[in-house]
Amino acid sequence: MSSNKDNEELRSERIHSDKKEDNRSAFQKDRDRILYTPAFRRLGGVAQVVHVNTDRGYHNRLTHSLKVAQVGRRLAEYLDDETPDHVLREAGGLSADVVETACLAHDLGHPPFGHPAERALQARLDNMGEFSSFEGNPQSFRIVNNVSINKRWYGDDHRGLDLTLASLKAMLKYPRSRGPMSKERDKWGYYRTEESEFEETEQLRTPGGSNDNVSLEARIMDWADDLTYAIHDLVDFYEAGLLPLDRLIQDSEERETVADEFESNVDVNEESWDATGFLANSLPDLAAVAGGEVGQEAPRRNPLEYPFDGSSYDRAGLSFMSSKLIERYLGIDSGVEVAVDPEIPTGLEITDDLKDEVHLLQYLTEHYVFNDPALLAQQRGHKEAVETLFDELYEATEEGSDRGGMIPAPFDEKVKQIHEGNLCDGNFKSDTLRARVTADIIASMTEKQAMQLHERLVGSTPGLVIDQIV
């Protein structure tokens, strides 16, 4: 691909140069390819926080991704309207379709059971060396470039959805690979098996020549992700009775304790923002507005000041609170804008107060839900299940294994290519490539599929001989 093209022309280029024309733009094609891939549908069977087979209507990764896409697109359209063209050009370009694509794709690599599974896969792949490991962000990048298959299939050398460079760049909120100096909790955006695809995206200009190489569209996707899950986790767990907003509002001592813990764990702008005041006043005020807007002269009570009772009144209060929070973080004069400072290139400017609010909403879930004993027990079981799955499937990928029939198509084709030395995934050891494909298999499962396979392997629910492996 020529690097002599200008940035705008390069943005719509594809690595494998799909020239087929229809009535869609290149970026609209990207969005549609994500929507129609099995990897996207799988997210309906993957948890946001709580195992998706629970009876309550918690958000899953699919509903989360759809909301992130809506929020990201809305913000992109707003910024496109409000920002001078020359600023957008300097920022590297902005397309609402690209942002929507990145939002839809951002959780494709999230494994079944979430972060416990992520840690289990990290531990297994860390043992392979070559800085391989596992993380949801690079797995998403790998899926769109390697694992998924477009209807215009290019053969063994060119799998993936063949997205435009702009859409690939927008997925890279961490444009780096894992290296020898990486810390345990460091985030990275691509595996070395997808280094060539990453290098293609490096042709695109980033905001003001920013040193971190994060595109404006990636920053919008990241912000949309943060505020979306902060809001819907708040709603999910308040409805479930796990997050006591009523106590936070009514009990000044508990409110101050939570606010102090938050401010000691998160770097906040204490001079201009007060966590206690936000919890005591701003948050309940957003729900109180709902009482009047659903047809009552004055609210009977603030919906957040009492445990959720499932009534239409309380549901209206939560719905309006969610809407008001979205407006607060995306609307006019929200404190979000495109700004390209030649000395301090930032791309997307978000006021400290807004970031502090969103971080506090996220912290409430962390404080009240993440340490719940029932959730911790569930996560421990899920981690052990994934470890067992990895060990069994990895052994099945060994050349000559009598368990080779356990490997589902099309991954069995990749295993065969590894044994033949024909897998075009870089110059890596066979063991490393086998581990990577094993992780691909697990990351392609729903939680139900993973649990069913685990139960068959340990003999608790053997299943029928006519049942497919996954």
| End-of-domain residue from the set 371, 395, 422 | 371
Q: Tell me which residues of the chain have a pLDDT lower than 50.
A: 290-294
Q: Using CA atoms, how far apart are residues 46 and 67, in angstroms rounded to an integer?
A: 15
409 and 308 fall within a common domain: no
68 and 213 fall within a common domain: yes
Predicted local distance difference test score (pLDDT) of residue 127: 75
- Of 262, 274, 219, residue with least CA distance to 106: 219
144 and 113 fall within a common domain: yes
**Domain membership flag for residue 230:** no
Residue 92: phi and psi, rounded to 5, are 100, 0
Single-letter amino acid, residue 410 = P
Instruction: Encode pLDDT of 198-225 as tens digits.
Output: 999 999 987 755 557 899 999 999 999 9
Q: Using CA atoms, how far apart are residues 383 and 405, in angstroms rounded to an integer?
A: 24
Asked if 165 and 203 count as a contact pair (C-beta separation under 8 A), the reply is yes
261 and 409 fall within a common domain: no
Burial 238-259 (b: 16+ CB within 10 A, else e): bbeebbbbbebbbeeeebeebb
**Domain membership flag for residue 407:** yes
Residue 274: phi and psi, rounded to 5, are -125, 110
406 and 280 fall within a common domain: no
158 and 103 fall within a common domain: yes
**Domain membership flag for residue 467:** no
Other beta carbons less than 10 A from residue 28's beta carbon: 16
Burial class (CB in 10 A: 0-12, 13-18, 19+), 61: buried
48 and 197 fall within a common domain: yes
420 and 322 fall within a common domain: no
Which residue intervals of 127-251 are DSSP H helices?
136-142, 165-171, 195-201, 216-239, 245-250
**Domain membership flag for residue 41:** yes
How many CA atoms lie within 13 Å of 455's alpha carbon, on the beta-carbon side? 12
**Domain membership flag for residue 225:** no
Q: Using CA atoms, how far apart are residues 243 and 240, in angstroms rounded to an integer?
A: 8
Looking up residue 54, the CATH number of its domain turns out to be: 1.10.3210.10
Dihedral angle of Cα 232, 235, 236, 241, to the nearest 10 degrees: 160
Quote the number of domains for the chain: 3
325 and 406 fall within a common domain: no
Predicted local distance difference test score (pLDDT) of residue 351: 84
Predicted local distance difference test score (pLDDT) of residue 330: 80
**Domain membership flag for residue 226:** no
| End-of-domain residue from the set 336, 371, 406 | 371
159 and 36 fall within a common domain: yes
Asked if 126 and 132 count as a contact pair (C-beta separation under 8 A), the reply is yes
**Domain membership flag for residue 235:** no
| End-of-domain residue from the set 371, 402, 423 | 371
The 3-class SS string of 120-152 reads HHHHHHHCCCCCCCCCHHHHHHHHHHHHCECCC
Other beta carbons less than 10 A from residue 325's beta carbon: 21
Residue count of the chain, please give it.
470
Domain hosting residue 54, numbered range: 7-218
What's this model's pTM, rounded to 2 decimal places?
0.91
Predicted local distance difference test score (pLDDT) of residue 290: 47
Other beta carbons less than 10 A from residue 422's beta carbon: 11
316 and 266 fall within a common domain: yes
**Domain membership flag for residue 378:** no
164 and 25 fall within a common domain: yes
Q: Using CA atoms, how far apart are residues 89 and 70, in angstroms rounded to an integer?
A: 24
